[in-house]
Amino acid sequence: MRKLLLILALACSFSLFGQSIDTVAVRSAIERQLATYPESTLQDIYKSFYQEHFGPGHIISDTASARRYLMRELSEMGKTASPYVEPTGSQGDYVRVYLSAVADSRITAEQLLDAFVRSANSRQKPVVSWMEKWEAIVSIIQANKMELEGFETDLPLLTEAAQNDQAVHHSRRYNEAYHPHYRIVERNIFEIELKPSLK
């Protein structure tokens, strides 16, 4: 009963943010990530929702350097069993397009780079602040007693990062287990320009 009241209270409080935080969708997205990537830590959940909130703009300084980094990453990555695409966060505004799609000649590096760069300029200012959303995510994890390795240690560091709208890398556990190589692409750009080649 107490857990039910807590969940109801969370749902009510988050609805005050202009109905911008769907607690059921957030919980489902976290559960999906933990099922797909069981080595995920709180840091990896932060990263997924941060990417959804801000898009890829925080990681592009200029197109030339983005191209060099992409080509270097393609040349250095080994064989991967990663999917071609997966959503970020819970709203579906952005997706991760894995470099395996380029390595398997489904799309070209230039197609991915162009979609990535244009996606950086497509993000409208979110209604909810990142700190508000992060607090909601943490509350949902705690209310549903989701087990995450290193949660108590990671939480204060990530909360400080959230206060400064700061991006983070994947955790060491995640990198060692999954070797992720992807770029963030706005969903409409992906659906129109890249998805037809990935079917």
Residue 16: what pLDDT? 37
Comparing 52 with 127, the larger pLDDT belongs to 52
SS3 22: coil
Residue 20: what pLDDT? 63
What total of structural domains would you count in the chain? 1
In terms of Cβ atoms closer than 10 Å to its own Cβ (0-12, 13-18, 19+), residue 73 is: middle
Distance CA 148, CA 16 (A): 28
Query: pLDDT by residue (tens digit) across 125-169?
Result: 778 899 999 999 999 999 999 999 999 999 999 999 999 999 999
Distance CA 10, CA 6 (A): 6
pLDDT above 70 (res 58): no
Kindly indicate the confidence band of residue 15, based on its pLDDT and cuts at 50, 70 and 90. Answer: very low
pLDDT above 50 (res 99): yes
Domain hosting 43: range is 2-198
* Rounded average pLDDT over 51-65: 81
User: Against a cut of 0.95, is the pTM above it?
Assistant: no
Residue 66: what pLDDT? 87
Among candidate residues 60, 173, 64, the one with its CA nearest the CA of residue 120: 60
Residue 39: what pLDDT? 97
pLDDT above 50 (res 28): yes
Residue 4: what pLDDT? 40
